[in-house]
Structure 1
Amino acid sequence: MKVAIVGATGNHGTAVLRALHETPEVTEIVGIARRLPEQDQPPYDGVEWRSIDIAGASTAEDAVNSLAEAFAGADAVVHLAWMIQPNDRRDLLRRVNVEGTERVTQAVAQAGVPHLVVASSVGAYSPDAARSGDGEPPLRDESWATGGIDTSHYSVDKAAQEEVLDRFAAAHPDITLTRLRPGLTFQGDAGSEIRNYFLGDLVPVGALRAGKLPALPVPKGIRLQAVHADDLGRAYVAAILKKVGGAFNICADDVLGPQELADIVDHGRYIEMPPAVVRAGLVAAHKAGTVPADAGWLDMGMEVPLMDNSRAATELDWRPSFSAADALAELLEGMIEGRGLPSPPLRPREKDERLNPAAGEPAGEGADAGAGSAAGGEEKIPEHYTKDLLELYLSDHLTGATAGVNRIERMAEDYVDTPMFAELSAVADEIRSDRELLRNIIEDLGLARKPYRQAVAWVGERVGRLKLNGRVLERSPMTMLLEAELMRSAVSGKLGGWETLREHAAGLNLDPQVFEDLIASSHRQLETMEKVHAYARERALRDNRETFWE
């Protein structure tokens, strides 16, 4: 059996890959994502990967044709791709999530795939008035209306996706269409992703490692349903193997209320707060940029019905093996630890060690760059080198690397709706990894990093973002061009640093091959920035053509 997965690198997709790898009936897997994972690492190994942009910066014709080619010969297609951020780009979210789903359905029909399985959500459901009453609300089955929650962009788009699927089912009754509507989906390996999407950098999740809150504040009436990602992965596989059409609620049997949440997050003590007060605080925090999640997520959590999962048990022979409480506890631990996996959406909090093995070794153990390096900060500089000059040189390169990381990551975020996004994102990962290796080398040599210089670079890069290029409410056509030119210069400077360290590797007891590899990587990064520059310079100086589309 051949299965193709659209959106195979995120929280859901990774779990589905794990489940498919454990299914003997599945002999071939095609993974589709805009940004590809490390393909030699589980569960992303043993998969035929295709980089396809379903709607972010592609035409409908190109996307459908590329998808149909990838779907050729598949027995089932699983559509999981969904964009959650950025909240303030509603046109982009709608295009990727709703129009992207429509393009996937068109490609399924064009390729003659007999079975389509789609990730819907509890968020697709209309409000349940029983949620605002006293006592436990009743469980609702899959017949509940899917009109969404008006104040939640995620819910509105999930409801619109259901309408796309309704039209597809009516037009193609010969194709089995299965919709899974999961609750909140948790796993420890999604800790970094979920924190980035919903909590951001300023919420001190890591502080829970040191101690608990006096009491957990919760909105009055909160009731949440969740499912462990591995249980959800098994549900997708069950749907594929059973080939049963229709909708299925997927959630653990337990419901998380205030006491259950407090037992997991705190000492079991909680304070119920009026939902309106919590919502106002979330609105303020989101507007201030403190929390990425907007108030629509709270509205959805407070208003959607609680789901009855009995149809999945009866028709898919599926039962959860994790409780919702266990899934949340694992997620919380993953968030505290900054856990993740080697794929762009799930990259760990300290993601820098993935792409360069040398960056992952502790200082003092060689880091693949220093066979005779220092331990515990001990100075290990040969006498014929001037320590102050070497320390200043490497610290200045680290300062430049800090500014470069900030800029390239911002570029990748800003140009998510361009054909350059996937390559910019890959270069951002590489440049961050390069910076971590440089940090390790400085420590291995027993030198000081001079962190105040990196702090100044961090602030300077952010102040530089205030340059508007003559535009206040929209991006200037010149911005990508200027940023590409700055990054070309930055990578060229970094290349010079690696060449210098290669020249002196033997004298500093460092491995010269590491720097050969970094030099080759820098040349590839320059080639990518040249492509970005070529794309931008065609569009930068004219207002009469599209800037961000091919």
Structure 2
Amino acid sequence: MATSRTTPSKTGRSAGRPKRRQNLTVAVTGPTGTFGSGLLPLLEADDRVRQVVGIARRPFDPSARGWSKMTYRRGDVREPDVLRSAFAGADVVVHLAFLITGTADRETIRSINVDGTLNAFRAACESGVRRFVYASSVAAYGFHSDNPDRLTEDWPVRPAARLFYAQEKAELERLLTAESELHPEVELYFLRPSIVVGPNVVGGKADLPGVLRPLGQLLPSRPRRLPVPVVVAVPALTLQLVHEADVGQALLRCAVGDGPPGAYNIAGDGVVTAVDVAREFGAWPVPLPPGPVRAMARAVSAVPFLPPFAEWAEAASRPAIMDTSRAKKLLGWAPEYTGIEALRDTFADAET
């Protein structure tokens, strides 16, 4: 299986880069999703940013969200001409548009995720953009048995066995790296967050991604201890969580900061287990060995003709825990929330 490594030297030229300019125009695809909720307020508040262009298929009113710098442009990432027009005059493109799951067929998902991302990068290059930031994922590493206990950015991205989301994230990092070799004038950044949580995660508990979704059904709607302890059998699966606001800070530093291009792992401090989470909310957890759960996850993910959402079972087959020291050192990034704190804040404003 072919692998690739994403290093600063392979994703744009870090040597001799000009100092970041002021009065930047930043174009953002998919600005109204979870990542956009973390990034856009920061772009609004940053005096280096003069204008923000938000590209989305569905109309929205930036002023209703308090985004005074933003101009809305209707756009679909499957339309290269529209993207070139929207990116005209932009200094930076932050590409957030991506389908995670839903009712769309696989052909549509791929046309948006893979083809749409390549369209965005090529349109950015043709429009004279100097920096391209791609929101990747820890899933790009795959869930392989030989993955190290702590993944650094030097470890190769490799397609997962089944999960389409992870496969496409790994494929896109390789494709974008190859494209960037043809456009060394464009600085390319990959941001690899762990599971992202926070108050703007769409749909609350029911739509938490990956292995966290079943766990969310065990938790109360607000971050308070249960009035009466409940005994719960919980597999001791390990998780890394990151708050949407901390992802926004990392995206901002990639977009307008002085850190070198390349890949950056992003996660809240601390590794959380399902047992820790259950105990945090006042339950009496009975730990179950993770081995049988991982084996079951591998078995489920091997079932043919799974719908896209069911492929997420593979994420439980092997923990993907990242080292985030590179982002802290080179981007100057540090998470405000630990993993548990990020989880608490997710449920803080949920309805009872």
With the length of structure 2 as denominator, give the TM-score of the two structures. Answer: 0.80
1:258 aligns with 2:274: yes
In structure 2, what is the Cα distance between the partners aligned to 1:10 and 1:41?
Answer: 15
Q: Secondary structure at the match of 1:269?
A: strand
Structure 1 residues 231-380: aligned runs within 5 Å? 231-240=246-255, 241-242=257-258, 244-272=260-288, 274-275=292-293, 279=297, 293-294=309-310, 296-303=311-318, 305-334=320-349, 336-337=350-351
| Residue identity (%) | 29
- The equivalent of 2:187 in structure 1 is 176
Shift of 1:193: 5.4
1:4 aligns with 2:4: no
Return the match for 1:106 from 104, 116, 122: 122
1:96 aligns with 2:112: yes
Return the match for 2:86 from 43, 47, 70: 70
Shift of 1:27: 1.2
Question: 8 Å contact 1:186–1:226 — kept in the other structure?
Answer: yes
Shift of 1:31: 0.8
Shift of 1:214: 2.5
In structure 2, what is the Cα distance between the partners aligned to 1:154 and 1:248?
Answer: 19
Question: 8 Å contact 1:216–1:269 — kept in the other structure?
Answer: yes
Question: 8 Å contact 2:268–2:335 — kept in the other structure?
Answer: yes
In structure 2, what is the Cα distance between the partners aligned to 1:5 and 1:233?
Answer: 12
Q: Secondary structure at the match of 1:86?
A: coil
Return the match for 1:155 from 155, 166, 171: 166
Return the match for 1:141 from 149, 152, 174: 152
Cα deviations across residues 354-405 of structure 1 (Å, max 9, x unaligned)?
xxxxxxxxxxxxxxxxxxxxxxxxxxxxxxxxxxxxxxxxxxxxxxxxxxxx
1:14 aligns with 2:37: yes
Aligned residues: CA RMSD: 3.1
Question: 8 Å contact 1:120–1:179 — kept in the other structure?
Answer: yes
In structure 2, what is the Cα distance between the partners aligned to 1:267 and 1:157?
Answer: 37
- The equivalent of 2:196 in structure 1 is 185
- The equivalent of 1:115 in structure 2 is 131
In structure 1, what is the Cα distance between the partners aligned to 2:228 and 2:28?
Answer: 40
Which residue identity lines up with residue 96 of structure 2 in the other structure? L
Question: 8 Å contact 1:225–1:251 — kept in the other structure?
Answer: yes
In structure 2, what is the Cα distance between the partners aligned to 1:148 and 1:215?
Answer: 38
Cα 1:47/1:307, change in 2 over 3 Å: same
Cα 1:277/1:87, change in 2 over 3 Å: farther
Cα deviations across residues 171-215 of structure 1 (Å, max 9, x unaligned)?
111110011001111111225256247569xx6876788867734
Question: 8 Å contact 2:38–2:245 — kept in the other structure?
Answer: yes
Cα deviations across residues 71-124 of structure 1 (Å, max 9, x unaligned)?
111111000111122266111111110111010011011101010010010000
Cα 1:312/1:301, change in 2 over 3 Å: farther
In structure 2, what is the Cα distance between the partners aligned to 1:20 and 1:268?
Answer: 43
- The equivalent of 2:145 in structure 1 is 129
- The equivalent of 2:10 in structure 1 is none
- The equivalent of 1:380 in structure 2 is none
Question: 8 Å contact 1:183–1:225 — kept in the other structure?
Answer: yes
Shift of 1:141: 0.8
In structure 2, what is the Cα distance between the partners aligned to 1:140 and 1:276?
Answer: 19
In structure 1, what is the Cα distance between the partners aligned to 2:208 and 2:268?
Answer: 23
Question: 8 Å contact 1:181–1:249 — kept in the other structure?
Answer: yes
Q: Secondary structure at the match of 1:54?
A: coil
1:86 aligns with 2:102: yes
In structure 2, what is the Cα distance between the partners aligned to 1:212 and 1:331?
Answer: 22
In structure 2, what is the Cα distance between the partners aligned to 1:320 and 1:215?
Answer: 32
Shift of 1:281: 11
Question: 8 Å contact 2:56–2:76 — kept in the other structure?
Answer: yes
Q: Secondary structure at the match of 1:140?
A: coil
Cα 1:265/1:302, change in 2 over 3 Å: farther
Cα 1:195/1:26, change in 2 over 3 Å: same
Question: 8 Å contact 2:297–2:316 — kept in the other structure?
Answer: no
1:24 aligns with 2:38: no
Structure 2, unpaired ranges of 5+: 1-23
Q: Secondary structure at the match of 1:190?
A: coil
Higher helix proportion: 1
Which residue identity lines up with residue 254 of structure 1 in the other structure? G
Question: 8 Å contact 1:225–1:306 — kept in the other structure?
Answer: yes
Return the match for 1:49 from 51, 72, 76: 72
Question: 8 Å contact 1:227–1:324 — kept in the other structure?
Answer: yes
Question: 8 Å contact 2:259–2:330 — kept in the other structure?
Answer: no
In structure 1, what is the Cα distance between the partners aligned to 2:221 and 2:268?
Answer: 28
Across the two proteins, how many residue pairs are aligned to each other? 317
In structure 2, what is the Cα distance between the partners aligned to 1:331 and 1:217?
Answer: 23
In structure 2, what is the Cα distance between the partners aligned to 1:166 and 1:159?
Answer: 11
Higher strand proportion: 2
Larger displacement relative to structure 2 (249-258 or 325-334): 325-334
Cα deviations across residues 19-72 of structure 1 (Å, max 9, x unaligned)?
1112111111111111133433234443101111112xxxxxxx1111111111
Which residue identity lines up with residue 337 of structure 1 in the other structure? E
- Higher alpha-carbon Rg: 1
Question: 8 Å contact 2:34–2:202 — kept in the other structure?
Answer: no
Q: Secondary structure at the match of 1:227?
A: strand
With the length of structure 1 as denominator, give the TM-score of the two structures. Answer: 0.53
